Structure formats: C-alpha cells, structure tokens
Structure 1
Amino acid sequence: ECETIRAWDVDPNRVEMLDQAATRARINVRDVLGGFVVHGQARVQPAKLVRGLAAAVERLGVPIYEQTTVTATAKGCVTTNRGTVRAETIIRATEGFTAGIPGEERTWLALNSAQIVTEPLSPELWRAIGWEGHELLGSAAHAYCYAQRTREGRITMGGRGVPYRYGSRTDVNGQTQQATIDQLHQILTTLLPQTAGCRIEHAWCGVLGVPRDWCTTVGLDPTTRIGWAGGYVGLGVSSSNLSGRTLADLILGQDTELTRLPWVNRKVRRWEPEPFRWLGVHSMYQLYHLADRREAAGLSHTSKLAALADAITGH
C-alpha cells in the first residue's frame, strides 16, 4: 500500500515507512508491526466546510433551498414536493441519495458509512495510547477503518459496519444500527485495547454514492443539459471541488484541461437489480472480513478471498 501511494503522489518523499518502534511511538496500536506516514496532510471538519461553502455562495446572491424532495427530473425542469423548478441546466449532485430519485435506482449504490465517538479520555489513558501528534489513523485491512483524536480528547472511529440496506435505502436523520456501533466499537478496542472501558457517547451514519466500477464521474448531456457529478466512494471532500470546477467549464461550453480528463462523460453500467445488489455487497464484505482474519492469523500474502470479493463487485 505504501508503494502504491508513492507511485501516485507528486512527491514520493512525502511517504515515510515506519518500523514497529516508530509506529508505536506515535500511536500505541496493539500488536503493530510497522506502518507508514504521509506528511503534509490536513484534516477538515466536513460539516463546517459545507456550512462555510453555503454561506459563501449565499453572500454571492445564490439562493439555497433545503427540505425539498425531488420526485422527477426532465429536460429543463425538476419536479419536487414543493413545486417545479425550471432551468436551462440541471445538475444532479445527490451522491448516495441518488438511488432515491425515480429512474436512478440502479445508477449509484447507497453504501453506508458510520462513525462512533468516545467520551473524553483521561490524561492517564492518553499517556498509554500516545497519539500526541493528532495523526489521522487508517488501517490497511481489506475491511478498513479510520480514526482520529479530536480536539476535545475523544476518539472517533469510522468504517462500513452494516454496509448496505436492501434496495439502496438510506438512514433516517443519521440513525445508526446497533450492529454497526458494536462492530466499530470492537474494531476500536481491538486496535487500542486501552479504550476497553471507555463509553461510546454518540454514533451517526450517512451514505456514499458508489458507481458499478467504483470510480467517480462528472459530465453534462449537451442535448438535455442535465449534468451530474459524484460516485465519490468516500473521497468527496477533495473530489467534489474538482467536480465543481469541471462542471463550470462544461456548463459554459469551454474546452479546457479539466473537460478533457478521462472521468468526464464516462459511461458506467448500472448496478444489478435486487436481490443481487444486496447479495453482492454483503458477500464482498464477508469475504473481506474472512481475508483479514486469515492474514491476521499469519498468512504471508494477500488472501485470494479478497481478490474474489473485488471480482464480485468490480471494486
């Protein structure tokens, strides 16, 4: 994984391998053998980012209408539960909620992503864990997870939990299934057994938009003037910025470096109907969990079960 990131990074020297002692000195993860760190990174609070962007565009005179459900889209108009909106150009940027729009049920799959957050940890517990650099912690497992130490001295742990609801159904107001909370809590205490007695104070979830080939797209139909951007598969904080700039060029009819990128107007086949979607996604994650257990037990190479999971879903 480290070499893969180095191959993609503009400056491969930003990626540094860590031995067991150096990794444990940063974060005292149970049974850690080594790791790597990517320097020059930053973290953002995505909710604050979205609110800030909304405030910025409203200052420019752009109205934002919320609490409005789209029931149909067609050339030049969007039908909602509160009336019809007419516009020359329409952009569908609904990400994981796309499957709820009539006609788009199989365009992008709604994949669940959830987080839990602990109570504030004591200074003694932080001394046992380390994590003084507030690094963003990620696991390279097939069923990966991610965590961070917050400013308030809590730990947030995120992952897929129960990955998919039948029929691409979405959560209600971010409510999280208990099975997901339990699974993330188990991951947290496995990686950091020092937290075994810590209380989980909150949990929330949302959905990611997942195309059939797990690759993001952006485009604009010149005939209908209906455009789209998304299928970010969890990387939307950075990708959505590039999508927005690309859509601006497409809407204005400009031929630019952005509009010539290979993800523009790329056609992706639709997801299979149910129950095949549900079976495929849940089979994939079951195989990933099995592969992780086999590798944790001492398998010296990547389990073939993980490759089978990738083949099933095109991951």
Structure 2
Amino acid sequence: MNDQHIDAVVQEARPVPLWLDTPDRPAPRQSPPGDKHASLVVIGGGFTGLWSALRAKERRPDRDVYVLEAGRIGNAASGRNGGFCEASLTHGVHNGLNRWPEEYEELERLGRENLAGLIQTIKRYGIDCGLEETGMLTVATEPHQVAGLEPAELGFLDQDQVCEVVNSPTYLAGRVETGDCILVDPARLAWGLADAAESLGVRIIENNPVTRIRRQGCTMRIETPQGVVAADQVVLATNAFRPLLRRLRLSTVPVYDYVLATQPLTSEQLQAVGWSGRQGVTDSGNQFHYYRLTPDNRILWGGYDAIYHYGRRVHPGLEDRRATFELLARQFYDTFPQLTDVRFTHRWGGVIDTCTRFCAFFGTAKDNKVAYALGFTGLGVGATRFAADVMLDLLDGQRTERTELAMVRKKPLPFPPEPFAWIGIQITRRSMAAEDRHGRRNLWLRVLDRLGLGFDS
C-alpha cells in the first residue's frame, strides 16, 4: 500500500466521530437561567455522570438531582470510544492480580455483577444502543505473544483456528472469551442513559460549564455561566478534563486515542474476512489495536498510537492527527489485505484519563460532600457504572463491600509535573514499543513495575 493511496483514503474520511454523526442525535437540553438548589449535583454528562444520576434516583427516588454538562451529552470519551464494554474493573487479569491479589476474585465477581446490571438497565429502560453479547477475541501477532494466551486454557485457538474466526495473515494464535465483554453504540448508550435519568426526574443542563465549586456553610456552591447551583452533595465526573479539585491535578494525564471507521462492508467483503461471530477483537501488544463490526457492518479500527501532549493539553485541535491516521490506515490494510478496496468514511480522536495503575480510583473531599472517580484508562464504558455506585456509597457514608476494597481505599501514585511527566511518558512509550517487538521488558519498565507506575491507553 503506497503513501499516496494512504494519504487519499485518510483525506476522504470525515473528521467526525462515527457514533455522533447521525440525525438521531438529541437536541441540547436547555434550562432557564437563575440560581437553583439540588440535593445532588453531578458535574459531567458522560458515562460517569449519567450513571451517577440514574443510580442516585434508583436508590432514592425523592432525591433532587441535577446533571451539569459543559458541552453536549456523550460528546467526549463516552461518544468516541469503540463501544467495548467489559466486565473487568482492573484493566484485565494481569493488572488486577498484580495489584490486588488478595481481593482479585472479589473484584472479578463484582465486575461481572456490574456488567449484568448494566445489561439489565439497557433492557429495562429499552435503550436502543445496538447491544451485542458477542464476547472478545484476543489475537497474537508476534511469536512471543502466543504464550500469553495460555494455550492450555479453554478457548485457545492455533493459527489455523483463529483465522477461521477472523481471517488475517497477521494472526499467529488467539483466544475467544464469552460473557465478559459486550459491544454497544456508546453514544446511543449515553443518550439512552440521559433519557432514563430524566424519566426518573433528573434535570440535565447542557452547554453549562462549571467554573468553580466551593463550600458555603452546610452546602456546596457550584458556579456556572447560567447561575449558581447550591448542592448538599456533589459528584465530580469530569474525567480527562481539568479537575475542579486541586488535589487531583497530577493524578491523571490526558492521552489522545484515534479511530478510523470504514464504509459498510459488502457481503463479499464480509465473507472474505469471516467474522461471523462478530466478536470484538484486540491484539496482545502494549500498543494494541481494538476493532469490531458496527451494527451496519463497518469496521471500526482504533488504538495503538496513544499520544500525550506536553503540559497535559486538551484541545479540539488535537483530535485530528494526520500522522496517526495514516499509521492506522496502513496497519489496517496490513491486517486485512483482502480489503484494499475498502475506504474510510470517518476519522476522529478523543481524550482518555490515564492514571498510573491503569484503572479508576475514588475518593471524597470537602468533608465528604464531594465524591470523585477518574483514571479509567480506556475502560470506562462498563466501569463507570461501578464507579457511580462507589461514589454514592461514599457520599452516603455507607460501608459496603465496594467501599471496603483496597482498590477503592487506596490511591495511585500521581504523575510528576512537567517536564518530567512528558519525558517519562516518551521513554515509557519507546520502551513498550521495544517490548512489543522483542518480548522483553527493559530496565526502565522493570523499575516502573517495582514502583507500581505505568502508562497506557
């Protein structure tokens, strides 16, 4: 595939997220200006905030709940991801066992219960989000990755077997897992959660950024351009965007992830790829791809090139990175050479809140009047529902099996300030790329392992 062709197919793609590019997108929720009061105010209208609002009303229907969103519902990470919704709360088995070996079985159980509850919510409220309970296919594309798929376990596929599931000459082995991953249209899930919350009485205000929160007597004062909202309790669900609590400013770094989507495949093109099981697919590298079929049989293809911008920058101009899209396009055609005639219709980027332990952390502030959860590191489609329950437990002062977890009680180490964060992340990215090629962790990565630090998308 020559550079001219790659440049052309990337240029043709519209720079807009596939999931948001639909006339079905709801109009912004408007609200009359003026001061308001609520028992609970949720700041952020992505998955974390929407689950928090919905779960709060399901627990206590009499609770007065507001959601304040700076832009549009589901416009950030919640409407830009691949739609992989996993049971894991710990960014996979390896990370969970390494960090919380004593409670990993409990975390695994809670994750599966959380996913089951999420599916029940989708069905109970009739949320039309393209739910597919197809499971996950993990593939090895380098010889040293094959052993990591644990050939002795049920679900292992050798090279011939994995290519019968999805046909790619890059696959050396694979493993199919069912029951721990579903696929959704993430934007429609967000819009459906908003509708469900409103049906219970939640009030949602879009295009209304919170500029400041502060304690005033027994309540929290939340300042916005449309007025002040007084709240008894607050949930912070701002994720990758600048946190409103100073203590959280070094806890995460914003990392940009990029995605391409093809035109809908013809029946002949689908037959050339196989993929009759419609599983979500990921490869086994540190710099990994994730890809899937959409409900209209496009291939959504993303990941690999996670980009951190100096100074923890977040800006719409960073969402369209041509060098990354060209790299992704070339890798797509390498993976599926039988699809060289397929073009891309959409290209987009989004920002992920990454923390040093690869999965969400939790806490409270302002004398337990404010709860927060962030650092989902690309695992937020399912884990945000669990996080909502954790935050509501903490605000209510409840001791539950969730709040007693070491994962909930302990915080990750923060990232350093600049320029050390940028330097460290660049060294780590190069080291991970070298491990993907050679299968060996260098001294830098081994030191980070000892310190419990990391960087991932």
Q: TM-score, normalised by structure 1?
A: 0.86
1:115 corresponds, among 232, 237, 259, to 259
Q: Partners in 2 of 1:19 and 1:50 — Cα distance? A: 38
Comparing 79-88 and 249-258, the one that deviates more:
79-88
Deviation at 1:201, TM superposition (A): 1.0
Q: Is it true that 1:161 corresponds to 2:305 in the alignment?
A: yes
- 1:42 equivalent in structure 2: 182
Per-residue CA deviations over 1:6-61 (Å, capped at 9, x if unaligned) read 98666999951111111000111223221101012421221111111111111111
Per-residue CA deviations over 1:78-125 (Å, capped at 9, x if unaligned) read 2233333221212211111135x4734323211112211011223332
Assess, with a 3 A threshold, how the Cα gap between structure 1 residues 87 and 173 changes in structure 2: closer, same or farther. Answer: farther
Deviation at 1:306, TM superposition (A): 8.2
Contact preservation (8 Å) 1:212, 1:270? yes
Q: Partners in 1 of 2:396 and 2:95 — Cα distance? A: 35
Structure 2 residue identity aligned to 1:28: N
Q: Is it true that 1:259 corresponds to 2:403 in the alignment?
A: yes
1:288 corresponds, among 418, 424, 432, to 432
Pairing of 1:45-56 with structure 2 (within 5 A): 45-56=185-196
- 2:417 equivalent in structure 1: 273
Hey, which bits of structure 1, 4+ residues long, moved more than 4 A? 2-15, 308-313
- 1:314 equivalent in structure 2: 453
Deviation at 1:310, TM superposition (A): 4.9
Q: Partners in 1 of 2:435 and 2:153 — Cα distance? A: 30
Comparing 228-237 and 126-135, the one that deviates more:
126-135
Assess, with a 3 A threshold, how the Cα gap between structure 1 residues 215 and 121 changes in structure 2: closer, same or farther. Answer: closer
- Structure 1 gaps, min length 5: 296-301
- 2:390 equivalent in structure 1: 246
Q: In the comparison of the two structures, how many residue pairs are matched?
A: 308
2:197 corresponds, among 31, 47, 57, to 57
Q: Partners in 2 of 1:82 and 1:274 — Cα distance? A: 34
Deviation at 1:145, TM superposition (A): 1.0
Q: Partners in 2 of 1:254 and 1:140 — Cα distance? A: 39
CA RMSD across the alignment: 3.1
Q: Partners in 2 of 1:5 and 1:211 — Cα distance? A: 13
Q: Secondary structure at the match of 1:70?
A: coil
Deviation at 1:284, TM superposition (A): 2.0
Structure 2 residue identity aligned to 1:227: A
Assess, with a 3 A threshold, how the Cα gap between structure 1 residues 16 and 90 changes in structure 2: closer, same or farther. Answer: same
- 2:33 equivalent in structure 1: none
Q: TM-score, normalised by structure 2?
A: 0.61
- 1:299 equivalent in structure 2: none
Contact preservation (8 Å) 1:288, 1:306? no
